[in-house]
């Protein structure tokens, strides 16, 4: 596309209008930010970890229980009582106090049933500890923060009796709200420092951050409001903040860079702004659109809460694109030429650009060894993926300082790790057959390897319920194997002999295992759609087939490298204390899916920005080698600075206590670092050199430059 066509385009007109009417743009954004904030404060909802999966065994178990045992069909919280030094729970006076607290819990309006290890039904007890499972009325969507507060109030008097009460299980996990952390502020400050080094100007460094923050406020408010109407996982606002902040600063950075180049070439301020929006803005539109579509692809996972997180992140990225194309041009028109006035002493960006020019020529001359070495490095980083093991979210994977982890440790020490993983087996059959079914089912469950205890049956109407405790912890591979073994062998055998019976196994942990199975089955579809959409967008943008295919392959290598590092750190335990965990943990089941969508989208950001510059240079000169060098020289500093900002922003979220957030933050930081170094500045230039004119097939060939550099209205080479 020629400069004349760009300047006459919609983006040029948008940039020009925003530059000429900054007050209107500021007023509109101010109203949007205020309205979003008011809505969030007055109509915002509560984040919750919940998702129904109709048709799964877990959901069928709940459906059967609702008929005759509705008190056992609701969400569960674990109340763990631990006697302090010098106190024993078998002391009659202490036992009476705990019994009284459990009676107070049972009397709460939202509680359906309480297991009472002190003379009632169910639960576990020793002289040092006791566990009571509290079943709530309704389903997971009905849980509120007040439910947990009421549990704490009812058990608070036990502290005076020398008994510590801790809470764990599904219910407190559902309502585990994201923590406010000032570490993220450090990430922003580091981003400003990087921008200072990149631009050498205080205004140029602060402006991208200043533009991103109001846009991020709108995105966060929108997620808060959405939580009042749909299920929004507590991970969603953290992911929105992480991706929104990084993408927003990056997009603003690219526009500011183009604007400064235009000023240096002597363009008037309004024209420089309009041209920056028309050129960098086009790349931002494609990059942001690719990121948004890629992340939205997780909706195809079949798990609603994952799809909602993906849509929330996609919406945040699009808001950042709008801010970069409207709010930023208005701010640039106010600042004008002063953007370079307040400079940092001894910082010379021009020297850095010269270094990248030399680097581009260096890779150009040694394309083959750099291509081989780059691929080998990525494959080495990806090697640990062969040991990747999926797991469920569990109290056992939380940091040791968390209450839920401490509750789990007491349960595991006193009663075995499987105590936190109780399965319910519900059997429903005609009245004349339920006795025979339950008689057969009990021994079949007890005789299955990996089962610690079986309690029951509880009988009610045409339903019988068994409580099964495994020997392994929730995240153990043996526990997942036990679920499949019980369903396919013990339960299936009884069902085959009693064809009129409905027998299902469910529970909190099995619900996540079922989600993992659904995600595993849908993963090929998600990958195909995300990669396919990205390929189409790149083909439309560059009018080439070779470039998009190479981009997809490079992105997949980046994703593999990030997977490998996550496995090495979290699963193998390499450097685990650096991320704030005390023990290795398997990878949470939906993290790889999110990593793929997010990393693939983000990788396209740098791909688009680099290839856009290479394509501009190629359209001007027709020289495939020099166009690659020119592209690297003009974007090397920019991509490196943008990547460093993203890495710092992502790493600032690693201290968050949520292990899922830790995994995502580290994975994204590694992926961006690898993508902006090994891939964009080594592999891509080397491969572009090796493919030469064929990069732009079928849109260009060896004679392509003749039409580009001759005749009236010829294109002016873009300043590198």
In a domain? residue 710: no
User: β-pairing, 587-588 with 390-391?
Assistant: parallel
The residue among 143, 174, 205 that closes a domain is 174
Four-residue CA torsion sign, 151, 155, 159, 165:
negative
User: β-pairing, 423-428 with 463-470?
Assistant: antiparallel
Q: What pLDDT is stored for residue 594 in this prediction?
A: 83
Residues 659 and 540 in one domain: yes
Residues 526 and 650 in one domain: yes
Q: What pLDDT is stored for residue 350 in this prediction?
A: 58
Residues 463 and 353 in one domain: no
Distance CA 559, CA 527 (A): 12
pLDDT at residue 352 is higher than 70:
no
Alpha-helical regions (H) of 180-267: 183-199, 202-226, 235-264
pLDDT at residue 68 is higher than 50:
yes
Distance CA 661, CA 240 (A): 11
Q: What pLDDT is stored for residue 583 in this prediction?
A: 82
Residues 522 and 633 in one domain: yes
Please name which of 255, 142, 248, 129 lies closest in space to residue 191, comparing C-alpha atoms: 248
Tell whether omega for the bond before 680 is within 30 degrees of 0, i.e. cis.
no
Quote the strand ranges of 545-670, DSSP E.
587-588
Output the domain CATH number for residue 153: 3.30.70.100
Distance CA 649, CA 656 (A): 13
pLDDT at residue 60 is higher than 60:
yes
Residue with tokens 């309502």: 175
Q: Which of 96-100, 546-550, 623-627, 704-708 has the lowest mean pLDDT?
A: 704-708
User: β-pairing, 163-169 with 76-83?
Assistant: antiparallel
3-state helix, strand, coil in the chain (%, to 5): 70, 10, 20
Q: Which of 35-39, 119-123, 286-290, 353-357 has the lowest mean pLDDT?
A: 119-123
pLDDT at residue 406 is higher than 50:
yes
Please name which of 162, 214, 414, 168 lies closest in space to residue 328, comparing C-alpha atoms: 214
- The domain total for the chain is 3
634: confidence class by pLDDT, cuts 50, 70, 90: confident
Residues 159 and 27 in one domain: no
Q: What pLDDT is stored for residue 347 in this prediction?
A: 58
The stretch 422-449 carries a mean pLDDT of 90
pTM above 0.85, yes or no: no
Residues 534 and 575 in one domain: yes
Share of the chain above pLDDT 90, in %: 32
The boundaries of the domain holding residue 341 are 7-33+178-390+513-701
703: confidence class by pLDDT, cuts 50, 70, 90: very low
The stretch 166-183 carries a mean pLDDT of 68
Residues 681 and 623 in one domain: yes
In a domain? residue 202: yes
356: confidence class by pLDDT, cuts 50, 70, 90: confident
Quote the strand ranges of 399-543, DSSP E.
423-428, 451-460, 463-470, 502-506
| Mean pLDDT of the residues in the chain | 84
Q: What pLDDT is stored for residue 518 in this prediction?
A: 85
Q: pLDDT digit string (tens) for 282-323? A: 889 888 888 898 889 888 888 888 889 899 999 999 999 999
Highest mean pLDDT among 120-124, 180-184, 280-284: 280-284
Please name which of 601, 612, 646, 647 lies closest in space to residue 720, comparing C-alpha atoms: 612
The stretch 597-602 carries a mean pLDDT of 83
Q: What pLDDT is stored for residue 137 in this prediction?
A: 87
- If one compares 246 and 216, the residue with the highest pLDDT of the two is 216
In a domain? residue 41: no
Residues 168 and 197 in one domain: no
Per the rule left: phi > 0, alpha: psi between -120 and 50, beta: everything else, 34 is alpha
pLDDT at residue 339 is higher than 60:
yes
Q: What pLDDT is stored for residue 490 in this prediction?
A: 92
Q: For residue 588, which phi and psi values (nearest 5 degrees)? A: -55, 140
Q: pLDDT digit string (tens) for 636-670? A: 887 888 888 888 888 888 887 777 888 888 988 99
The stretch 224-249 carries a mean pLDDT of 86
> In whole angstroms, how far apart are CA 136 and each of 148, 199, 408, 475?
11, 57, 20, 24
Residues 535 and 674 in one domain: yes
Residues 578 and 671 in one domain: yes
pLDDT at residue 2 is higher than 80:
no
Q: Which of 38-42, 103-107, 529-533 has the lowest mean pLDDT?
A: 529-533
- If one compares 150 and 594, the residue with the highest pLDDT of the two is 150
In a domain? residue 520: yes
The stretch 4-9 carries a mean pLDDT of 50
Output the domain CATH number for residue 453: 3.30.70.1320
Q: pLDDT digit string (tens) for 215-230? A: 999 999 999 999 888 8
In a domain? residue 401: no
Residues 468 and 380 in one domain: no
Q: Which of 32-36, 214-218, 263-267, 469-473 has the lowest mean pLDDT?
A: 263-267
Q: What pLDDT is stored for residue 451 in this prediction?
A: 93
Residue-wise DSSP of 344-370:
PTT--HHHHHHHHHHHHHHHHHTHHHH
Q: Which long-range contacts (CB under 8 A, 24 or more apart) does 452-456 make?
A: 452/416, 452/418, 455/122
In a domain? residue 84: yes
The residue among 174, 190, 222 that closes a domain is 174
Gyration radius from the chain CA atoms: 29
Q: What pLDDT is stored for residue 344 in this prediction?
A: 65
Residue with tokens 């080998």: 376
Q: What pLDDT is stored for residue 345 in this prediction?
A: 65
Q: Which of 169-173, 365-369, 609-613 has the lowest mean pLDDT?
A: 169-173
Kindly tell me the burial class for residue 26, based on how many C-beta atoms sit within 10 Å of its own C-beta (0-12, 13-18, 19 or more).
Answer: middle
449: confidence class by pLDDT, cuts 50, 70, 90: very high
In a domain? residue 694: yes
| Structure tokens, 281 | 């803005």
pLDDT at residue 50 is higher than 70:
no
Q: What pLDDT is stored for residue 711 in this prediction?
A: 35
477: confidence class by pLDDT, cuts 50, 70, 90: confident
Kindly tell me the burial class for residue 711, based on how many C-beta atoms sit within 10 Å of its own C-beta (0-12, 13-18, 19 or more).
Answer: exposed
Residues 474 and 614 in one domain: no
Q: What pLDDT is stored for residue 174 in this prediction?
A: 64
The stretch 205-219 carries a mean pLDDT of 91
Tell whether omega for the bond before 698 is within 30 degrees of 0, i.e. cis.
yes
Q: What pLDDT is stored for residue 70 in this prediction?
A: 87
The residue among 158, 174, 190 that closes a domain is 174
Distance CA 327, CA 330 (A): 5
346: confidence class by pLDDT, cuts 50, 70, 90: low
The stretch 231-252 carries a mean pLDDT of 86
* 301 touches 233 (CB < 8 A): no
Q: What pLDDT is stored for residue 575 in this prediction?
A: 87
Please name which of 596, 594, 608 lies closest in space to residue 537, comparing C-alpha atoms: 608
In a domain? residue 183: yes
């Amino acid at each position: 596309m020629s400069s004349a066509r760009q300047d006459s385009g919609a983006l040029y007109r948008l940039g020009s209008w925003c530059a000429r009417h900054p007050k209107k743009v500021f007023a509109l954004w101010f109203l949007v930010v205020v309205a979003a904030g008011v809505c969030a404060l007055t109509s915002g909802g509560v984040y919750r970890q919940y998702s129904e999966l109709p048709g799964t065994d877990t959901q069928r178990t709940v459906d059967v229980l609702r008929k005759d045992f509705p008190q056992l069909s609701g969400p569960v919280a674990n109340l763990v009582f631990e006697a302090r030094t010098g106190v024993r729970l078998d002391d009659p006076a202490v036992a009476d106090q705990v019994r009284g607290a459990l009676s107070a819990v049972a009397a709460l309006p939202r509680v359906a049933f309480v297991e009472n290890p002190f003379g009632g039904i169910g639960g576990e007890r020793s002289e040092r500890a006791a566990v009571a499972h509290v079943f709530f009325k309704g389903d997971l969507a009905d849980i509120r923060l007040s439910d947990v507060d009421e549990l704490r109030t009812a058990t608070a008097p036990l502290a005076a009796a020398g008994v510590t009460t801790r809470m764990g299980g599904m219910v407190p996990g559902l309502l585990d709200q994201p923590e406010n952390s000032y570490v993220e502020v450090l990430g922003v400050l580091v981003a400003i420092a990087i921008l200072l080094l990149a631009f050498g100007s205080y205004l140029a460094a602060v402006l991208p951050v200043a533009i991103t923050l109001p846009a991020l406020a709108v995105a966060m408010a929108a997620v808060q409001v959405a939580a009042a109407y749909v299920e929004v996982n507590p991970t969603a606002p953290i992911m929105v903040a992480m991706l929104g902040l990084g993408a927003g600063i990056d997009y603003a950075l690219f526009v500011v860079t183009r604007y400064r180049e235009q000023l240096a070439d002597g363009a008037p301020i309004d024209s420089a702004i309009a041209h920056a929006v028309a050129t960098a803005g086009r790349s931002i539109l494609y990059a942001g659109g690719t990121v948004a579509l890629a992340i939205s692809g997780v909706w195809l996972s079949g798990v609603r809460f994952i799809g909602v997180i993906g849509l929330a992140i996609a919406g945040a990225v699009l808001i950042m694109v709008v801010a970069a194309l409207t709010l930023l041009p208005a701010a640039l028109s106010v600042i004008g030429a002063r953007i370079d006035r307040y400079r940092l002493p001894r910082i010379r960006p021009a020297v850095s650009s010269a270094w990248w020019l030399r680097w581009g020529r260096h890779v150009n001359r040694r394309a083959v060894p750099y291509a081989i070495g780059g691929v080998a490095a990525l494959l080495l980083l990806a090697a640990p993926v062969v040991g990747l093991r999926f797991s469920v979210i569990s109290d056992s994977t939380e940091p040791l300082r968390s209450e839920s982890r401490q509750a789990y440790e007491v349960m595991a020490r006193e009663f075995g790790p499987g105590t936190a993983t109780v399965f319910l087996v519900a059997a429903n059959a005609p009245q004349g057959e339920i006795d025979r079914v339950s008689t057969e089912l009990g021994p079949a469950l007890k005789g299955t390897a990996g089962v610690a205890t079986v309690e029951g049956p509880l009988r009610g109407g045409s339903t019988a319920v068994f409580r099964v405790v495994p020997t392994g912890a929730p995240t153990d591979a043996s526990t997942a194997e036990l679920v499949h073994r019980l369903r396919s062998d013990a339960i299936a055998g009884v069902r085959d002999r009693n064809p009129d019976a409905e027998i299902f196994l469910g529970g909190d942990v099995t619900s996540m295992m079922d989600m993992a199975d659904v995600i595993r089955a849908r993963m090929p579809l998600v990958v195909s759609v995300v990669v396919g959409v990205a390929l189409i967008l790149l083909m439309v943008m560059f009018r080439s087939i070779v470039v998009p295919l190479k981009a997809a392959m490079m992105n997949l290598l980046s994703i593999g490298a990030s997977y490998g590092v996550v496995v090495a750190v979290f699963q193998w335990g390499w450097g685990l204390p650096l991320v704030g965990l005390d023990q290795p943990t398997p990878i949470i089941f939906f993290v790889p899916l999110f990593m793929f969508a997010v990393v693939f989208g983000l990788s396209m950001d740098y791909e688009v920005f680099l290839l856009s510059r290479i394509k501009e240079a190629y359209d001007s000169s027709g020289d495939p080698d020099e166009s690659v060098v020119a592209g690297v020289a003009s974007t090397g500093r920019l991509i490196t600075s943008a990547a460093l900002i993203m890495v710092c922003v992502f790493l600032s979220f690693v201290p968050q206590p949520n292990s899922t957030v830790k995994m995502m933050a580290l994975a994204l930081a590694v992926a961006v670092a690898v993508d902006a170094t090994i891939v964009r500045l080594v592999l891509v230039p080397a491969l572009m050199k090796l493919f030469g004119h064929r990069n732009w097939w079928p849109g260009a060939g060896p004679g392509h430059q003749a039409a580009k550099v001759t005749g009236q209205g010829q294109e002016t080479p873009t300043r590198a």
